[in-house]
Amino acid sequence: MEKTKESKKSSTGRVTADKARIDRLKEQLRSTPQEVDFERVRIMEEVYEDTAGYQQIIRRAKFMATLLERKKLYIDENLFVGSMSSTVNGIYTYPEWNIDWMKEEKTVEKSKTPEDRKANEWALNYWEKRSLKPRTLEIFEKRYGFDPRPTYDSGFVISFFDWPGGGGNLNYPRVYNNGLASMIKDVQERQMSLEMRLPNASKLYFYEASLILMRSIIRLSHRYAELAREMAAKEKNKTRKAELIAIAETCEWVPEHPARNLREAMQCHFLCHVLAEIEQVGCGYSEAYLGQNFEPFYQRDKAAGLVNSEQATFMLENLFIKLNEIGYYYGEKVALQNSADLGQSISLGGYTEDGEDATAEMDYLILDASGYLHLPQPPLSCIYTERMSGKFLEKVLDVIGTGVGMPQFVNGDVMMKRGLYMFGDSEKGITLEKARRNAIGACVGSYIPYETGHPVEGQPNLGKVIELTMNNGYDPRTKQQVGPKTGDPVIFKTFEELYTAFEQQLQFNEDVLRRGAWIASMLCADFLPVTWRSLLTGGCIETGTEVWNGGANYYTTAQIVVGGVDAANSLMAVKKLVYDDKKLTMAELTKALAANFEGHEKVRKMCYEAPKHGNDIPEVNKLTHRVFESILTAFNSVDGGGNYLSKDIKSAPDAYTKSIHNLMGLVTGALPSGK
């Protein structure tokens, strides 16, 4: 459906701010329960039977295209369209990753329709041995000679293959600045430039999958336009009719063509984002410098009289409500682990490429929208620099003062230095200008936006490392030998003996975590390719290589170390109470821990009162630093370091606790810290 590309011909940029509508949409969001929608599985059953024998990347592209062609659509009061599933707050399932939770929660028996029951039965039968988790565990046991299940089941290691992770900051601006039609032309030219020879096979398949997917995305947008026009034809209210026509005009134009105004840019952005989640849902699809990317559209529309700050804020509120509708579910374990947090982080402020303050007017409006909505998504990060204005800092503090719990503050200079350290000596290299634009991905990790592959490895539970150290590698909860036998702490004569045992347990933890993650990542590269994510990651189109297979310009490693401070506090308590001050014997302490401190309240009080991190105590700070150095050493000692792609890729774990501590606390017993 070809249309003129002149902005003057588009009337879709005008909106009327309406707080009552926002309140209704917010109430709908809060009052509508999350429900698992088996639409994806129903379509998967059909397509997988029809495409048996196809290359996996083509098979997955055809499956995604069919899903987008047949998924049930809806349009509510929101200015923007697009959804994970066929209902508000609906959640798709991804049995190709893991079906354990489907068995445990009896999804077949609980199916609401015969169609859902049939699809669930198919998923359980088809993916029983084919899904990522059992294949990873089977290869691990054959390769390393032991069954890693007890290690994973104990909570010692939280695996990556139980549920997928997100893709970092994808290049949505490429779509709303250039349009999919332009990207299709680029991919077609690259595909046709390749000779039909075996060395080019994987590239040819990648480009073919890309074309299948991009055309299906345009068709999906046109389906929304058709639905909006059908609804407009029946609508009696003139204002609502005009809104529906505007939705239709928007979806007829983007993402096929470059956005002409702010509203089209936002619609295109959200559609790109929700499609990444549909392809492979998970925590960590972030929004980079969203406000600064929208700034040119906003300023142009404002100068043309199409929009003012109040109307732009209203659009952002609509967009943020749509982001809160996205969710995922992989059973109660993952729900406890991540609280379904999606980490759709927006970076505010920061540096321009030439080192000046990058704060945009839209950054202020994002704060206004978030402060009014008080919703958990998207998380905001203020990238603080010395160039940032006091006015913007005051605005940030005002929003924090509302009790919404964000933005978090992140040091822009540290982010820049981290970018130079991580990627400066990579094959692609990195300029200072690019490092200044490092953006938050997921929680507090930072990556080069639009160009970085984001493979998730998992999370080591350092609280559990301490528990196993205090129990000679035995897990009291699961009653299994989980870690190596590093000795009974009662016979340790010095703190250094205890610390050596801790490091041995820690190394085993990292060995299991990283080796399992590398196997899973290689399997993903083989049978779970992510073509849409690849199209939005710099380097993949240019090299004809999918992102799991190494197509991105840069790679990081998403391993989140949780409980490092718990470990340091526990070690400090043992050092002070047992070895330095001799207020307790190791036997007394281990007895109290085994009883979860019940009947040992005096011991627990002593543990609580032992020196803790965060109180400017040099000895504690030194030990905490040592613990994190030990983590880094263990991380880099696994099979030569790097990541699953190459030992030459520089990688480092992140160390923070956001919501994963929920599950880790439940599977970890009493600790010398007093926990």
**What are the tens digits of pLDDT across the range 62-80?**
999 999 999 999 999 999 9
Is the pTM here over 0.85, yes or no?
yes
Split at pLDDT 50, 70, 90, the class of 283 is: confident
Per-residue pLDDT averaged across 123-140, rounded? 97
d(C-alpha 402, C-alpha 406), whole Å: 9
Contact 672, 607 (CB under 8 A): yes
Kindly tell me if the per-residue pLDDT of 2 is higher than 60.
no
Closest CA to 569 of 509, 518, 620: 620
Per-residue pLDDT averaged across 102-124, rounded? 92
Looking at residue 515, what is its pLDDT?
98
Closest CA to 170 of 263, 91, 269, 264: 269
Which pair of structure tokens corresponds to residue 211?
Answer: 């074309």
Closest CA to 313 of 389, 255, 262: 262
- Residue 592: its H or E element: helix 586-594
Kindly tell me if the per-residue pLDDT of 662 is higher than 90.
no
Residue type, 328: Y
d(C-alpha 373, C-alpha 274), whole Å: 20
Looking at residue 339, what is its pLDDT?
58
Split at pLDDT 50, 70, 90, the class of 136 is: very high
d(C-alpha 338, C-alpha 162), whole Å: 12
Cα 672 off chain centre by:
33
Helix (H, G, I), strand (E, B) or coil at 36: strand
Average pLDDT, the chain: 95
pLDDT in tens, 355-387: 999 999 999 999 999 999 999 999 999 999 999
Looking at residue 4, what is its pLDDT?
39
Contact 637, 542 (CB under 8 A): no
Per-residue pLDDT averaged across 156-178, rounded? 91
Looking at residue 6, what is its pLDDT?
43
Looking at residue 165, what is its pLDDT?
84
Contact 561, 658 (CB under 8 A): no
Kindly tell me if the per-residue pLDDT of 8 is higher than 50.
no
pLDDT in tens, 504-536: 999 999 999 999 999 999 999 999 999 999 999
Per-residue pLDDT averaged across 319-330, rounded? 93
pLDDT in tens, 446-502: 999 999 998 999 999 999 999 999 999 999 999 999 999 999 999 999 999 999 999
Per-residue pLDDT averaged across 212-232, rounded? 99
pLDDT in tens, 381-423: 999 999 999 999 999 999 999 999 999 999 999 999 999 999 9
